[in-house]
Amino acid sequence: MERADQPSSLSSIAYNGARRVLGGNWTGGSTVPSRTLYPHQWSWDSGFIAIGLRHLSPERAQRELETLLGAQWADGRVPHIVFNPAVPLTAYFPSPDFWRSSAAGHRAGAPEAVETSGIVQPPIHAVAAWLVHRADPAASAHRGFLRRVYPRLVAWQRYLTERRDFGGRGLASIVHPWESGMDNSPCWDPPLSRIEPAATASFHRADLDHGCPSDRPTDLDYGRYVRLAEHYRDQGYADEVDGHRFAVEDPGFNALLIASEHALADIAAALGADPSDHQVRAEELTTTLLKRLWSQDDGLFLAQDVIGGEPVPERSAAGLLPLILPGLPEDVTSTLLRTAGGEHFGLGGATRLVPSYDLTGHAFDPARYWRGPAWFNVNWLLERGLRRHGATGRADALRTTLLQAAVASGFAEYVDPFTGEARGTRDFSWTAALTIDLLA
DSSP H helices in 114-176: 125-135, 137-143, 145-158
Nearest-CB residue to ligand 9WN?
Answer: 33
Q: Which stretch binds ligand 9WN (CB under 6 A): 42-50, 70-78, 151-159, 190-198?
A: 42-50
Residue 119 near residue 181 (C-beta atoms within 8 A): no
437: contact with ligand 9WN by CB under 6 A: no
99: contact with ligand 9WN by CB under 6 A: no
Nearer to ligand 9WN, 183 or 383 (CB): 183
45: contact with ligand 9WN by CB under 6 A: yes
Which residues from 192-211 bind ligand 9WN, rule CB under 6 A? 207
Q: Is the dihedral of CA 47, 431, 253, 382 positive or negative?
A: negative
Long-range pairs of 156-161 with CB within 8 A, sequence gap ≥ 24: 156/69, 156/72, 156/76, 156/77, 156/78, 156/123, 156/125, 156/126, 157/123, 157/126, 157/257, 157/260, 157/261, 157/264, 158/76, 159/75, 159/76, 159/77, 160/120, 160/123, 160/257, 161/257, 161/281, 161/285
Minimum CB separation of residue 382 from ligand 9WN in Å reads: 16
Q: Is 183 a catalytic residue?
A: yes
* SS3 at position 218: coil
CB atoms near residue 361 (< 10 Å)? 17
Binding residue (CB under 6 A) for ligand 9WN from 42, 188, 301, 376:
42
Angle between helices 145-158 and 58-69 (to 10 degrees): 40
Minimum CB separation of residue 46 from ligand 9WN in Å reads: 9
33: contact with ligand 9WN by CB under 6 A: yes
Among candidate residues 75, 314, 413, 427, the one labeled active-site is 413
Q: Is 365 a catalytic residue?
A: no
Among candidate residues 45, 66, 115, 183, the one labeled active-site is 183
Residue 88 Cα to chain centre, angstroms? 26
Minimum CB separation of residue 199 from ligand 9WN in Å reads: 19
Nearer to ligand 9WN, 183 or 305 (CB): 183
Q: One symbol per residue from 158 to 197: x for binding ligand 9WN (CB under 6 A), - otherwise; what is it? A: --------------------x--x-x--------------
What's the rounded Cα separation, in Å, for the pair 279 and 258? 10
Minimum CB separation of residue 82 from ligand 9WN in Å reads: 12
What's the rounded Cα separation, in Å, for the pair 207 and 4? 42
115: contact with ligand 9WN by CB under 6 A: no
Please return the burial class of 152, using the count of CB atoms within 10 Å of its CB with bins 0-12, 13-18 and 19+.
buried
What's the rounded Cα separation, in Å, for the pair 289 and 287? 6
Active site residues: 183, 413
Where on the chain is the footprint of ligand 9WN (CB under 6 A)?
33, 38, 42, 44-45, 80, 178, 181, 183, 207
